[in-house]
Structure 1
Amino acid sequence: MRFFNTEGPVRADLHYLLPPLTRWDLEEVLALIEQKKYFLLHAPRQTGKTSCLLALMAHLNREGQYRAVYANLEVAQTTREDVTRGMAAICSVLGRSIEFYLQDPSIDAWNQTFGPRLTPEDRLLRLLATWASADERPAVLLLDEVDALVGDTLVALLRQLRAGYSQRPQAFPNTVILCGVRDLRDYRIHARSEPAPITGGSAFNIKAESLRLGDFSEAETRTLLQEHTQETGQVFTPEALQQVWTLTQGQPWLVNALAYQACFRSREGRDRTRPIDAAMIDAAKEYLILNRVTHLDQLADKLREERVRRIIEPMLAGESLDSVPLDDRDYLVDLGLLRRAAGGGLVVANPIYREVLPRMLALGPQDSLPQISPTWLDEQGQLDLEALLAAFLDFWRQHGEPLLKSAPYHEIAPHLVLMAFLHRVVNGGGTLEREYAIGAGRMDLCLRYGAVTLGIELKVWRDGRPDPLARGLEQLDGYLAGLGLECGWLVLFDRRSGQPPIEERTRVDEALSPSGRRIQVIRA
C-alpha cells in the first residue's frame, strides 16, 4: 500500500505523488538544456527539488539524446574550508553517481587513479572534462545541495565549473543545474582566500536562469489527497480538503505530513470506513507542532539566525520592515518562511508556520515558568475569565521581570512571556491562535477553552510614541467584531525607559471600545 511521503524523494511504487515533471515548466527546462545553458533550481527544504531532479535525469536518459547524472554534494559540507578534502569528496560522489546511474565505472576509476595527483583547483575540472569527452552525447550534470558547501570549497566548485564552461559540450558538460534552498544571489561566501565576502553571482556569472519550484496549488493539493481515496476508498470530507489547503497553503511537506498523520497514524484515520474530517486534520496539525517534527524543528532553528531575527521580531510585533534590507527579505522568502501576498507585502508562508514561530520563541519563557495552580478553572472545569485575569496579574507582578530575560527576542519579550502563560492555561484543554500584521503595531490572540472564547490584543508603548490606548481600543474593536465577541482584553506593555518596576505599574482598568464593547485594559 502506498502512503503520503514525508522523507526524501518520492517513489511511484511507495508514495502518493504528483508527477514531479509536471511541477515545473518542462519545456522551458528542456529549452535551456538544448541551448547549453547553466542554471539554478531553488526552493525551500522538503518541497520536492530532489524528486524533480531525479525525474529530469530519468527523462533525459530515457530519451537518449543526453547523458544525465544526479549527484548530491551534501557529503562535502563537513570539509568546510578544506578545499583538498572538499574537492576529493565532490569528485568521489560524481564518480560513484556516474557509475550508479549510467553503469559507467570508468570515471570513478579515473578519479581514484589520477585525482590524487591533481591540485584541488584542477581536480573537478579535469574529471568533468574526461567524462564529457568520453561520449558524443552531451553530458548534463544535476548538482543538489550546492549551498550546503561553504567558503573556499564552494568557491572552488563554482570557479572550476566556470573555467570549463567555454569547452562545452565536447569537453565539458553541456548543462549544469545547481540546486539548493537559496538563489545564487543569496550566497555570501566567506572564503579564507578572499579579502572580502564574495557573492554567488560574481563567482558563477555564467548562470542563465534561476528557476524556483513553487508549492502545490489548491487543485494539486486536492489531487494528491484524492490519490489516497482512489487507492483505499477512504474519502476526505469537503471541509477536510479545504482545511488542509488553508493550513498549508500547498507547502508540500506540510500537505503530506498532515495527511499521513490523519490517515496512517491516528486511530480514527486507520479505519478506512471513516471519512477524514476537518477535526482530524486539526488534530494532526496539533500533533505535528507539539511533537516538533523534524521539518518544523529545522524551521524553528532558523529563528536563531540574525538575518531571520531582523525580520521576524518586528513582524511579530506588527512593526514596519522599512529598514530591513531587501536581501534579508528575499532570503526569508527563499527559505519558505515568508511569502509575498498577492496584494503586496510580506506574510508568514502559511497558518502552521504562523503558529510555530511564536510558539517556538515562547519555549524559553515557557520552560522557565514557575508552578502555577489553575485557579482560572471553576468547579466544573470551565474557564473563568475573571479568575484568569486575576491569575495573570498576580503572575505578571511576581514573575514578569525575570521571565523577560529568558525570551530570545528582546523587542517582543512581553508578548512571548504572555503567550507562555496562556499556553499553560490552554494546555490539553484549549487552543491559542495568533494574528499579526506588518505595520499594524499589534499582535492579536484568540484563546479558546471549551465554550469560552477570549480575544486579546497586545501593544507596546515605546519611547517617543503616544499612549497606544486609543488606537488599541479601535483595533481590538474590529478584531472582536470578527470573533463575534462583546468583550476582550487590551494588554499594553510599557517599555519606555525610566518606568517603575513591573509589580508597581501593573494594573487593570475598564474601558469601552468605539462600538461600546467592554474592554479590560491591562497596563503591564
Structure 2
Amino acid sequence: MRFFNTEGPVRPDDHYNLPPLSRWDLEEVLRLIDQKKYFLLHAPRQTGKTTCLLALMGHLNRDGRYRAVYANIEAAQTAREDVARGMAAICSVLGRSIRLYLNDARPDDWQHREGAIFAPEDRLARLLEFWSGADPRPAVLLLDEVDALIGDTLISLLRQLRAGYPQRPQAFPQTVVLCGVRDLRDYRIHASSERAVITGGSAFNIKAKSLRLGDFTAEETRTLLLEHTEETGQRFTAEALERVWALTQGQPWLVNALAYRACFELPAGRDRTQPITVELIDQAQEAMILERVTHLDQLAHKLQEPRVRRVIEPMLAGTVPGEASEDDRQYLVDLGLLRRDGAGGLVVANPIYREVLPRALAGGPQDSLPQIAPTWLDPDGTLNPDALLDAFLAFWRQHGEPLLCSAPYHEIAPHLVLMAFLHRVVDGGGTLEREYAIGRGRMDLCLRYGRVTLGMELKVWRDGATDPLAEGLGQLDGYLAGLGLNSGWLVLFDRRSGQPPLAERTASTTQISPQGRAIRVIRA
C-alpha cells in the first residue's frame, strides 16, 4: 500500500504523488537544454527538487538524444575549504552516478587510473571532458545540493564549469543544471585566498536562467490527497481538504506530513471506514508543531541567522525592517519562510510557519517560567478572563524583568514572554492563534479555551513615539470585529528608556473603544 511521502525523493511505487515534470514548465526546460544553456533550479527544502531532477534525467535518457546524469554532491560539504578533498568527493560521486544511471564505468575507471595526476582545480573539468567526449550523444549534468558547498570548494566547482563551457557539447556537458535552496545570486562565498566576498553570479556568469520550483496549487493539493481515497476508499471531508490547503498553502512537505499523520498515525485516522475530518487535520498540525519535527526544526534553526533576524524580528513586532536589505528579504523568500502577497508585500508563507516562528522564539522564556497555578480556571474548568488578567499582572510584576533577558529577540522580548505565559494557559486544553505582518505596528493574539474566546492586541511604546493607546484602541476594534467579540485586551509594552521598574508601572484600566467595546488596557 502506498502512503504520503515525507522523506527523500518520491518513489511512485511507494508514495502518492503528482507527476514531477508537471510541476515546472517542461517545454521551457527542454528548450534550454536544446539551446545548450546552463541554468539553475532552486526551491526551499523538501519541496520536490530532487524528485524533479531524477524525473528529468529519466525523461532525457528515455528520449535517447542525450546522456543525462543526476549527482548529489552534498558529501563534498565536509571538505569545506579543502579543494583537493572536495573535488575528489565530487568526482567520486559523479563517477558512481554515471555508472549507476548510464551503466557506464569508464569515467569511474578513469578517475581511479588517471585522476590523481591532475591538479584539484582541474580534476572535475578533466573528468567531464573525458565523459562528454566518450559518446556522440551530448551530456547533460544535473548537480544537486550545490549550495551546500563552502568557500574555495564551491568557487572551484563553479569556475571549472565556467572554464569548460566553451568546449560544449563535444568536450563538455551541453547543459549543466545547478540545484539548491538558494538562487545563484545569493551564494556568498568567503574565499580563503581572497579577502572580498565572491558572489555566485560573478563566479558563474554563464547562467542563462534561474527556475524556481513552486508549491502545490490548491487543485494539486486536492489531487494528491484524493490519491489516498482512490487507493483505500477512505475519504476526506470537503472541510478537511480545504483545511489542509489553508494551513499549508501547498507547501509539499507540509501537505504530505499533515496527511500522513492524519491517515496513518492518529488512531481515528487509521480506521479506513471513517472519514478524515477537520478535527484530525488540526490534531495532526498541533502534534507536528509540538514535536518540532525535523522540517519545522530546521526552519526554527534559521531564526538564529542575523539576516533572518533582521526581517523576522520587525515582522513579529509589526514594524518595518529598516536594516534588512532586499537580498535579506529575498533570502527568506528563497528559504520558503516568507512569500510575496498579491500586493507585493511580505507575509509568512503559510499558517503553520506563522505559528512555528513565534513558538520557537518563545521556547526560551517558556522553559524559564516558574510553576504557575492555574488560578484562571473556575471550579468547572471554564476559563475566567478576569482571573487570567489578575494572574498575568501578578506574574509580570514578579517575573517579567528577568524573563525578558531570556528572549532571543530583544525588540520583541515582551511579546515572547507574554506568549510563553499564554502557552502555559492553553496547555490545559486551548489554542493560541497569532496574526502579524510587516508594517502593521502590532501583533494580534486570539486565545480560545472551551467556550471562551479572548482577543488581544500587543503594541510597543518606544523612545520618540507618542502613546499608542488611541491607535491601539482603533486597531483592536477591527480585530475584535473580525472575531465577533465585544471586548478584548490591549497590551501596551512601555520600552522607553528611563522608566520605573516593571513591578511599579504594571497596571490595567478599562477603556471604551471608538466602536463602543469595553477594552482592558494593560500597561506593562
TM-score, normalised to structure 2's length? 0.99
Residue 37 of structure 1 aligns to which amino acid in structure 2? Answer: K
Amino acid across the alignment from 1:100? L
C-alpha distance in structure 2 between counterparts of 1:95 and 1:359, whole Å: 45
RMSD of Structure 2 on Structure 1 (CA): 0.6
2:227 alignment counterpart: 227
In structure 2, what residue type is equivalent to 1:447? L
2:126 paired residue number: 126
The within-5 A match list for 1:80-159 is 80-159=80-159
Partner of 1:300: 300
After superposition, residues 56-455 of structure 1 pair within 5 angstroms as 56-455=56-455
Q: Which moved more, 1:71-80 or 1:317-326?
A: 317-326
Cα shift readout 1:106-156 (whole Å, capped 9, x = no counterpart): 111111111122111010010000000000000000000000001000000
**Are 1:23 and 2:18 matched, yes or no?**
no
State the 1:195 CA deviation. 2.0
Aligned positions of 1:437-476 closer than 5 A: 437-476=437-476
What's the secondary structure of 1:421's corresponding residue? helix
Deviations 1:347-398 (A, max 9, x none): 0000000000000000000000001111111101110111100000000000
Q: 1:440 offset after TM fit, Å?
A: 1.3
Counterpart amino acid of residue 160 in structure 2? Q
- The secondary structure found in structure 2 opposite 1:129 is helix
How far did 1:321 drift? 2.8
Task: Please report how far the alpha carbon of residue 323 of structure 1 lies from its aligned counterpart in structure 2 after TM superposition.
Answer: 4.3
| Counterpart code for 2:123 | R
- Alpha-carbon distance between aligned partners in 2 of 1:75 and 1:438, rounded to the nearest angstrom: 38
Alpha-carbon distance between aligned partners in 2 of 1:153 and 1:367, rounded to the nearest angstrom: 41
SS at match of 2:44: coil
Indicate the SS of the match to 1:304: coil
For residue 353 of structure 2, what is the amino acid of its counterpart? Y
- CA apart distance, 1:322: 4.6
1:241 is paired with a residue whose SS is helix
Residue identity matched to 1:334: D
> C-alpha offsets along residues 454-502 of structure 1, whole Å, 9 cap, x if unaligned?
0010000000000000000000011011101111100000000000000
Q: Which amino acid aligns with 2:416?
A: L
**Counterparts of 1:385 and 1:31, CA distance in 2:** 63
Mapped to 1, the partners of 2:57 and 2:327 lie a distance apart of 32
Cα distance in 2 between the residues matched to 1:136 and 1:60: 15
Check the 8 A contact 2:457/2:489 in 1, yes or no.
yes
Q: Which amino acid aligns with 2:492?
A: L
1:8 aligns with 2:11: no
The one-character-per-residue Cα deviations of 1:221-254 (angstroms, maximum 9, x if unpaired) are 0000000001111111110000000000000000
CA contact (8 A) 2:310 2:323 kept: no
Separation (CA, whole Å) in 2 of partners of 1:193 and 1:30: 38
Q: CA deviation at 1:11?
A: 0.7
SS at 2:36 equivalent = coil
Task: Determine the structure 2 residue equivalent to 1:492.
Answer: 492
Quick one: distance in 2 between partners of 1:190 and 1:295?
Answer: 27
Alpha-carbon distance between aligned partners in 1 of 2:343 and 2:112, rounded to the nearest angstrom = 56
State how far apart, in whole Å, the 2-side matches of 1:437 and 1:307 are. Answer: 17
Once the two structures are TM-superposed, the CA of residue 438 in structure 1 deviates from its matched residue by: 1.4
Structure 1: distance between partners of 2:298 and 2:27: 34
Q: Secondary structure at the match of 2:114?
A: helix
- Distance in 2 (CA, whole Å) between partners of 1:473 and 1:488 is 10
Percent of residue pairs bearing the same amino acid type: 77
Give CA deviations for 1:200-238 in whole Å, capped at 9, x if unaligned: 000000000000000000000000000000111111111
Q: Which amino acid aligns with 1:378?
A: D
Indicate conservation of the 8 Å contact 2:307/2:324, yes or no: no
Measured in 1, the distance between the counterparts of 2:193 and 2:155 equals 9
Distance in 1 (CA, whole Å) between partners of 2:312 and 2:134 is: 51
Amino acid at match of 2:496: R
Give the length in aligned residue pairs: 524
Which deviates further from its counterpart, 61-70 or 315-324?
A: 315-324
8 A Cα contact 2:83 2:156, kept in partner: yes
For 1:324 and 1:148, the matched residues in 2 are separated by 24
Secondary structure of the corresponding residue to residue 243 of structure 1: helix
Structure 2 distance, partners of 1:207, 1:313, is 34
1:438–1:183 distance in 2 versus 1, CA, 3 Å: same
Aligned residue identity for 1:150: I
Instruction: Give the superposition deviation at 1:255.
Output: 0.3
How far 1:437 sits from its partner (Å)? 2.1
Distance of 1:195 and 1:411 partners within structure 2: 33
- Kindly provide the amino acid, as one letter, of the partner of residue 21 in structure 2: L
Partner Cα separation in structure 1 for residue 63 and residue 257 of structure 2: 34
The 2-side partners of 1:470 and 1:216 are apart by 42
- Tell me the amino acid that sits aligned with residue 331 of structure 2: Y
Structure 2 Cα separation of the partners of residues 251 and 288 of structure 1: 15
